[in-house]
Amino acid sequence: MGDEGGSLRVDAIQTLIQTLHNQYPKKGFSISKKLQFKHTTDRGICILAKQSIIKDETLMTIPEKARLSSVKLVNSSKKMLTLRNKMKKNAPQRQKLQGYLEPEDFMLALQMMKALAKRSQVADGSLKLNADDPDCIYIEQAATWPTEGEMKEMSWFYWDLGKVKKIWNVSTLWFSFFELKNHVQFIFNTVLHPFFRANNPKDYIDPTLPSNIALGDLKVHEKKALLNTYIYAISLAWSRSHQDGTGKPDMIPLVELFNGTSEKMNDRLPGKKQKKSAINVDIARGYWPFSKLHV
């Protein structure tokens, strides 16, 4: 992503923070002023500390209601519970044993597809939301995610089977990759696509994805547009979700930007001599490595 795209993501993060403050003004949301969200051209979004951070200091608290939760979606209606059960029933036996992707992972991707679609509808003026509408958080969270182009480089679900086979040969790793990709496609074909057709497909399509723009008329290429949005969403869910208290995946706003790496420790402020060290800080229910800068 270029500098302009990265700047837009940083702006989107600040918009999301402000909305969380506005919707939870007294309790439920907090974020330390020590944190700085920054974009670099080579590695995307990183989070730096503007001041020293005390070990075990809580930097962020996110309300349960602000999270894209697969469990909440499953429990929201009988229709969603039925959909979840179809995913479980139709999963290939080896996938059931390996447990790479659970029905809740697909349900989370479903929520993300809806957030992406609503974001495009707000942008084109076909959907109006009040500032205090809970959907605002999810729509603004979607604006902080990596682009489809970035995910194509990082996600297994975009990789070509034949090219990967040449690199990995016929190995255990390649078979796992093969089965995972097939599982993702199988769930789309047998469970999700019939569901979308029965429940207004437009509500699950992101027309702003480059792959969908290239299709032209999305009414003609509806299934492909749904698949493009689905692969993008499941790639994000696979790489960015965190487990909730029940072990099921959530997409927690802002927290999902913390990808569990300390590579950013090499970042320095211009003209400053600084020591750097990795510490753990408490975010939500887990611990993530973080960069501590001593000025």
User: What is the mean pLDDT, run by run of 10 residues, along the chain of 295 residues?
Assistant: 69 95 88 85 75 80 89 93 90 63 92 96 93 92 92 89 86 83 92 96 97 96 98 92 78 80 43 47 42 34
Distance, CA of 31 to CA of 35 (rounded, Å)? 8
The pLDDT of residue 43 is 63
CB-count burial class (<10 Å; 0-12, 13-18, 19+) for 218: middle
The pLDDT of residue 93 is 65
Reported for 220-223, long-range contacts at CB under 8 A and 24+ positions apart, including other chains, are: 223/193
The pLDDT of residue 109 is 96
The pLDDT of residue 225 is 98
Q: List the one residue out of 237, 268, 236 whose CA is nearest residue 38.
A: 268
The pLDDT of residue 131 is 87
Strands 275-283 and 58-61: parallel
DSSP percent split of the chain into helix, strand, coil, nearest 5: 55, 15, 35
CA angle 127, 132, 137 (to 5 degrees): 75
Distance, CA of 31 to CA of 17 (rounded, Å)? 8
Query: Phi and psi for 236 in degrees, rounded to 5?
Result: -65, -45
CB of 236 closer than 8 Å to CB of 112: yes
Q: State whether residue 214 is helix, strand or coil.
A: coil
This prediction's pTM:
0.85
